[in-house]
C-alpha cells in the first residue's frame, strides 16, 4: 500500500468482560477498578473500567494490520488518556499520517480513540517503523 500524508484509517472494538479478564491474565493487572463493582462504584467512574492496555492495544492492531500495515512497530508513543473506557463500550481508534520520512520507512501518526458516544478517551501521536517483507 502506498502511504501519503493525510491518509486516515480506523478500527473499532466493543470491550467485553472476557477482554478484561484475558488482559488481566496476560498482564497481571487485577486492579479492583476492573473487577469489583462495589469498589468501582465508589470512585468517580461509578462502574467498572477497562484496562488502559486494552484501549491502546486497539492502536497496536491498527498500526500493525491497517496503516502503515503488516511489519510495522512503534518507535515511540506520546498520548494521554482523557476519559475512561467502560466494559460494554465500543471504542474506535483513528490514525492520520502527519509525515513520512523521505528515505526510511518511518511514519508519524496523529492518533485518537473515541467511545460510541463521541467522547474522546485518548489522543496523541506515534512514530512507527515498517519492516519490509524479506
Give the per-residue pLDDT at 41: 96
Q: What is the mean pLDDT of the chain?
A: 95
Cell numbers at 43, concatenated: 470512585
Superfamily of domain 8-130: Hotdog Thioesterase (3.10.129.10)
| pLDDT for residue 120 is more than 80 | yes
Contact 20, 116 (CB under 8 A): no
Give the per-residue pLDDT at 133: 67
Give the per-residue pLDDT at 21: 97
| pLDDT for residue 134 is more than 90 | no
Determine the Cα–Cα distance for residues 91 and 19; give it in Å rounded to an integer. 13
Give 19-68 pLDDT, tens digit per residue. 999 999 999 999 999 999 999 999 999 999 999 999 999 999 999 999 99
Determine the Cα–Cα distance for residues 99 and 40; give it in Å rounded to an integer. 41
What does the domain layout of the chain look like in residue ranges?
A: 8-130
Query: Which one has a higher pLDDT value, 9 or 1?
Result: 9
Backbone angles phi, psi at 33, to 5 degrees: -60, -25
Give the per-residue pLDDT at 132: 82
Amino acid at each position: 500500500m502506498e502511504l501519503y500524508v493525510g491518509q486516515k484509517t480506523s478500527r473499532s472494538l466493543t470491550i467485553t468482560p472476557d477482554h478484561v479478564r484475558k488482559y488481566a491474565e496476560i498482564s497481571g493487572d487485577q486492579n479492583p477498578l476492573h473487577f469489583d463493582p462495589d469498589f468501582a462504584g465508589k470512585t468517580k467512574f461509578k462502574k467498572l473500567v477497562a484496562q488502559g492496555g486494552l484501549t491502546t492495544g486497539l492502536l497496536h492492531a491498527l498500526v500493525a494490520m491497517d496503516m502503515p500495515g503488516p511489519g510495522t512497530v512503534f518507535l515511540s508513543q506520546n498520548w494521554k488518556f482523557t476519559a475512561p473506557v467502560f466494559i460494554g463500550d465500543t471504542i474506535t481508534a483513528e490514525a492520520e499520517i502527519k509525515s513520512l520520512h523521505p528515505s526510511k520507512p518511518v511514519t508519524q501518526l496523529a492518533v485518537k480513540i473515541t467511545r460510541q458516544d463521541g467522547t474522546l478517551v485518548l489522543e496523541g501521536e506515534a512514530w512507527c517503523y515498517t519492516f519490509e517483507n524479506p
